[in-house]
Structure 1
Amino acid sequence: MEARPNGGSGDGVVRGERCTVLTPVMRGPVAPGREPEARLAEAEGLARAIDLDVVHAETVRVAEPKPATLIGSGAVERLHGLIEEQDIKLAIVDWPLSPVQQRNLERAWSCKVIDRTGLILEIFGARARTREGQLQVELAALSYQRSRLVRSWTHLERQRGGFGFIGGPGESQLEIDRRLIGERIARLKKELAEVKRTRGLHREARKRVPYPVVALVGYTNAGKSTLFNRLTNATVMAKDLLFATLDPTMRVVKLPSGRDIILSDTVGFISDLPTDLVAAFRATLEEVSAADIILHVRDVAHPETTLQQQEVIKVLKELGLETRLDGDMIEVLNKIDLLEPGDRETVLEQAERQAHAVALSALTGEGTDRLLADIDQRLASQRQIGHFKVPHGEGAALAWLYSHGEVLTRRDDEAFAYLDVRLDPADVGRYQRLYPVAPA
């Protein structure tokens, strides 16, 4: 088994560690519309996303949150017996814990304890692949850790993935040095600024190509990466795991018209994601802001598909994309292969009625041709028709128009070619700057 570094006594976190997942259920409408069992199942999925062995999971009723332990003393005592009996090494509490609550539960249960934020950061650390993703994760982790001062952070200079929240209680190493963390955060922000500048240059380079950008967004595990692989014949990790993708992956896709686009796969959203984590990944989601079309991939076979849809829309609005949600977004109703015949027909009829929806199965490929055609049509509607008069000697100008636009008509005389071409508005101006010939 492979060990990952941690911030504790030096013992690596081993894949397959025995853990319990506990979802507190507060009195009153804490999570409107979400069933406790669905929240628990999602928390179990998060734990399995980093290869933890979930040997026990339950919802824990909380009549009144306790400042010292969050849950009541009776439940704390009962769970201590269960944790000891089943040799559980890690308890995941699917709720934000204060540093005091986390420390007290570790002492009461004699095992490691992490909350929802810590678990998500562990997943981010394990899944981030690009340099930017790794920097973003470490920055979020340090900010989170600085507020706690419960763990040592001696792995700062030797980090390879994972952030040490799954460390061990009773650590003998020195307490976190605030100055060290502050200096590291400052260095990370400088590195991130440089990485973002580089990404900005890459985006400018793509504008000069230019290919339209189509970004996939959606709730985690909705099937974005599977759809990405289907459309691009790529092999991006597409396991049945929450947060399987944490860095945007881009590939060129050819549409039915022959036009090329850049398809971008992005990190999945999830309910109750702390706002500081969303902020830490804002740069990763910049590809969505810059996209010409947004594909909102939904798992229509999931019992909480509507709530997941609302969560994604809420995050997109937080990212300032509210004005893009109508005209520039296609709703992809995915996983129709998992639906019962009656439900399947309902979803297919829903997609037919809506102008901006496509029902498909990314796994089987059914409906993906329709999606590509819809993207093609949507991009074409954003273009304008220009009239061009090109001297026959200007072969480069003719080639540029054919490669960047859709030539609708062409008429030639002895000296000129007269073309009607559908182009992006920005390309009309670019053509005129590159080839300042007389207009038609």
Structure 2
Amino acid sequence: MNEEQTGNERASGHGQTRAIVVGPYPTRGPAALSRDAQARLSEAVGLAQAIDLDIVGEIPIALSEVRPATYLGKGKVEEIAEAVKEKEAGLVSMDCQLSPVQQRNLEKAWDAKVIDRTGLILEIFGQRARTKEGSLQVELAHLAYQKSRLVRSWTHLERQRGGFGFLGGPGETQIETDRRLIEERMRRIEHDLDKVKRTRGLHRKTRRDVPYPVVALVGYTNAGKSTLFNRLTKAEVLAQDMLFATLDPTLRQIRLPHGARVLLSDTVGFISDLPTMLVTAFRATLEEVTLADVILHVRDVSHEDSEAQARDVEAILEELGLKGEAEGRIIEVWNKIDALDQERCEALKLAARGYEPGRRPAMVSALTGEGLDMLLARIENLLAESRMTLALELAPEDGQGLAWLHAHAEVLSRETREDGGSRLVVRVAPERAEEVRRRYGAAAPAERGG
């Protein structure tokens, strides 16, 4: 097989690359799959479809041991070679992490391009990143991945289908040059990212000066975060039944029931076995989560693998240092209840009532809006726990002061005095309390909480 043959992608009539998805899942040992194999394979197919591949075959494999040279046993390698030939597939997506040698050996055996889970996720990220920071983060992760593929036995580094492919077909004598070029490019990107982060830090400081609390949406990819974001903000963020529809964090302002404004942040979806290089690369992007006042963990409770997906999200939150420290500010949102039959929905409602009130999941449908009023009230109550409630009196002519309070605090109640002035109870962030006291005289503290 020569490079030209490998690079020629066999395409369907619509110009899509024909692909076979292989799910080789170990059945024992530390690498054994902790979730349903069919659900994991379906997810792998969804990932491949996310970069517009034409899936012509799905092959689950129960793997007793991983082979150093080809990952799979000889019989399975030959079986897949037959399938590739029969289906005229130009690409095989392996839902596992392959070493460079394994990838190369499989490409030789199948006369087709082979991409592993890491490479596939990087491709998706490469296509979806829209902001400058997102694009730089993905390029940095992709270069780290490319650098790991530079081994003596490697004979080509051609363009992978979709988002990236920086170097085209170097021979063995090029390896050291390529490594140096990659390292130089990585250093430049890291320098550019530092500048972007500083700018974002200034923007965040401006927001703190307002200050509006931040509510961050997190969850497994395709859990419905963007649909929920759109429903709450009336925005038009890309929300599709597609893995990784959202990559770059999006911020919008919303009002809570008592009028307080908060910033809602939609973030990248999490996924099992997220490449380590991407967790590192997107740590800055996920800073919105680490700094959020409230975190909404959105779960697709209609998915058969919902519990395993939740564990994967919790593992990444733990990796971000959030699991213990943020426990009190996480609300679990059980989304897509509209997709459940009545019996399953009642069973979940019963299960939710088994949680202690402060940790009880919010059951919602982002699609229909069911349960969102109660969710907003939960967010407001959680924010209220760290806020101060103050009683104030305003002169009749202080319309400007009233407007300021509505813009910077929650106005919980307002009574009009006989002289036309106002008696108000407001709730403010602790850092605002002194300013409110100064601005409105001796504001006597009212009962705390909400």
Q: TM-score, normalised by structure 2?
A: 0.86
Tell me what 1:337 maps to.
338
The one-character-per-residue Cα deviations of 1:408-433 (angstroms, maximum 9, x if unpaired) are 4668798x977543211111134457
Aligned to 2:3: none
State whether residues 406 and 422 of structure 1, in contact with CA within 8 Å, keep that contact through their aligned partners in structure 2: yes
Cα offset, 1:360, TM superposition: 1.2
Give, in angstroms, the shift of residue 272 of structure 1.
Answer: 1.2
How far did 1:153 drift? Answer: 6.6
Mark the runs of 5 or more structure 1 residues left unpaired by the alignment: 1-7
Give the superposition deviation at 1:212.
1.4
1:423 and 2:428 equivalent? yes
**By how many angstroms is 1:12 displaced?**
12
Superposed CA RMSD in Å reads 3.1
Partner of 2:21: 21
- The residue type paired with residue 17 of structure 1 is T
CA distance in 2, matches of 1:193, 1:357: 38
> CA deviation digits over 1:229-263, x for unaligned, max 9?
11111221111111111111111112222222111
> Percent identical across equivalent pairs?
52
Shift of 1:403: 2.4
- CA-to-aligned-CA distance 1:46-67 (integer Å, 9 cap, x gap): 1011111110111123333221
- Cα 1:420/1:371, change in 2 over 3 Å: closer
CA contact (8 A) 1:390 1:437 kept: no
Deviation at 1:393, TM superposition (A): 7.5
Query: Is the alpha carbon distance of 1:160 and 1:280 closer, same or farther for their aligned partners in structure 2, counting shifts above 3 Å?
Result: same
CA apart distance, 1:99:
0.6
Q: Which amino acid aligns with 2:384?
A: A
- Counterpart in the other structure of 1:234: 235
Q: Indicate the residue corresponding to 2:68 in structure 1.
A: 67
Which residue type is aligned with residue 400 of structure 1?
W
CA distance in 2, matches of 1:151, 1:266: 38
Task: Note the C-alpha offset of 1:268.
Answer: 0.8
Structure 1 counterpart SS, 2:56: strand
Task: Tell me by how many angstroms 1:400 deviates.
Answer: 2.5
1:386/1:206 Cα in 2 relative to 1: closer, same or farther (>3 Å)?
A: same
Give the alignment of 1:34-433 within 5 angstroms.
34-149=35-150, 150=154, 162-164=163-165, 175=175, 177-354=178-355, 355=357, 356-388=360-392, 396-407=400-411, 408=413, 420-431=425-436
Indicate the larger mover: 39-48 or 364-373: 364-373
Distance in 2 (alpha carbons) for counterparts of 1:38 and 1:9? 31
Give the drift of 1:28: 0.5
| SS of structure 2 residue aligned to 1:346 | helix
2:448 is aligned to: none
Structure 2 vs 1, CA of residues 347 and 168 (structure 1 numbering), >3 Å: closer, same or farther?
Answer: farther
Following TM superposition, by how much is the alpha carbon of 1:174 offset from its aligned partner in structure 2, in angstroms? 5.4
Q: Secondary structure at the match of 1:315?
A: helix
Deviations 1:69-119 (A, max 9, x none): 111112112211221121100011111111111111111111111111000
TM-superposed deviation, 1:281: 0.7
Query: Which AA in structure 2 matches 1:212?
Result: P
- For the 8 Å contact 2:10–2:17, the answer to whether it is kept is no
Sort the Cα spacing of 1:431 and 1:10 in 2 relative to 1 into closer, same or farther, 3 A: farther
Amino acid at match of 1:386: L
How far apart are the structure 2 equivalents of 1:82 and 1:172? Answer: 31
Letter in 2 for 1:361: S
Q: Is the 8 A contact 1:152 1:173 kept in 2?
A: no
Q: Structure 2 counterpart of 1:115, which letter? A: D
SS in structure 2 opposite 1:182? Answer: helix
Name 1:3's counterpart in structure 2: none
Contact 2:8 2:90 survives alignment (8 Å)? no
**TM-score, length of structure 1 as denominator length:** 0.88
Q: What count of residue pairs does the alignment treat as equivalent?
A: 428
Within 1, Cα distance between the matches of 2:377 and 2:156? 54
1:180 CA drift (Å): 0.8
SS in structure 2 opposite 1:38? helix
Supply the distance in 2 between the matched residues of 1:412 and 1:101 (Cα, whole angstroms). 79
Further displaced range: 291-300 or 208-217: 208-217
Cα deviations across residues 178-217 of structure 1 (Å, max 9, x unaligned)?
Answer: 1111110001001111111111111111112222111110
Is the contact made by 1:252 and 1:260 (CA closer than 8 Å) also made in structure 2? yes
Q: Quick check: 1:294–1:329 contact (8 Å CA) kept in 2?
A: yes
Post-superposition Cα deviations, 1:374-429, rounded to whole Å, max 9, x if no partner, equal 22222233311234566778765454333222344668798x97754321111113
Paired residue secondary structure (2:288): helix
1:342–1:55 CA distance, 2 compared to 1 (3 A): same
Aligned residues of 1:243 and 1:268 also touching (Cα < 8 A): yes
How many angstroms apart in 1 are the aligned matches of 2:134 and 2:219? Answer: 18
